[in-house]
Amino acid sequence: MKQINAYLNFNGNCREAMTFYRNTLGGQLHLMTVKETPMAARCPAGTENQIMHAHLQGDGFALMASDMLSGGSYQPGNNFSLTVNCSSEEQIHTLFDKLAEGGQVVEPVRTQFWGSLFGMVTDQFGTRWMLNYEKKSPAAESLEKPTVLENI
């Protein structure tokens, strides 16, 4: 079953914003910094403590975020995407291909360092979509565990 969630991008204040949302909405917050990922060497100097990925999970909701903005610079209005958590490889490829019709591929579907198939596309209406299919790999298991901020 596919699930659609919001993915927010911030300009260096993701930790602050997601902590605020956790304190406001409740739930459990997981934070992964740039330096905790294999991407650290490819990121600009000074970004090692920025948030590569944040995930706030609560009763009936999930909110994800990052300080990294793929495919452009931060501007209010371009700081969000919709994510689709797919249930199969077939589903991620089918949805990605349909969303890409008349749109623009930002990141083709491929296996990422966290062990999932992932792709990003801007559809013909200007909406950015991030598609993910959880596919565990030995590389994903070896990553450091992200910081977890407990439920409130």
The answer to whether 54 and 66 have CB atoms below 8 angstroms apart is yes
Report yes or no on whether pTM surpasses 0.85: no
One digit per residue, the tens of pLDDT, for the chain of length 152 reads 678 888 998 888 899 999 988 998 899 999 999 888 887 888 778 778 889 899 999 988 899 999 875 555 666 667 888 889 899 999 999 999 999 999 999 999 999 988 899 999 988 878 889 999 997 654 444 444 555 555 44
Listed by start position, the domains of the chain span 3-148
* Structure token pair of residue 3: 């699930």
The answer to whether 28 and 18 have CB atoms below 8 angstroms apart is no
Say how far apart CA 109 and CA 93 lie, in whole Å.
7
User: Residue 24 contacts by C-beta under 8 Å, 6 or more apart in sequence?
Assistant: none
pLDDT at site 127: 84
Cα–Cα separations (whole angstroms), residue 101 to 72, 86, 114: 21, 19, 27
* Structure token pair of residue 14: 């993701």
pLDDT at site 24: 84
* Structure token pair of residue 70: 């793929």
The answer to whether 79 and 8 have CB atoms below 8 angstroms apart is yes
The answer to whether 81 and 5 have CB atoms below 8 angstroms apart is no
pLDDT at site 111: 93
pLDDT at site 140: 42
Q: Which CATH number fits domain 3-148: 3.40.50.2300, 3.10.180.10, 3.40.190.10, 3.40.630.30?
A: 3.10.180.10
Cα–Cα separations (whole angstroms), residue 35 to 44, 53, 143: 11, 11, 11
Say how far apart CA 55 and CA 29 lie, in whole Å.
6
Say how far apart CA 118 and CA 101 lie, in whole Å.
18
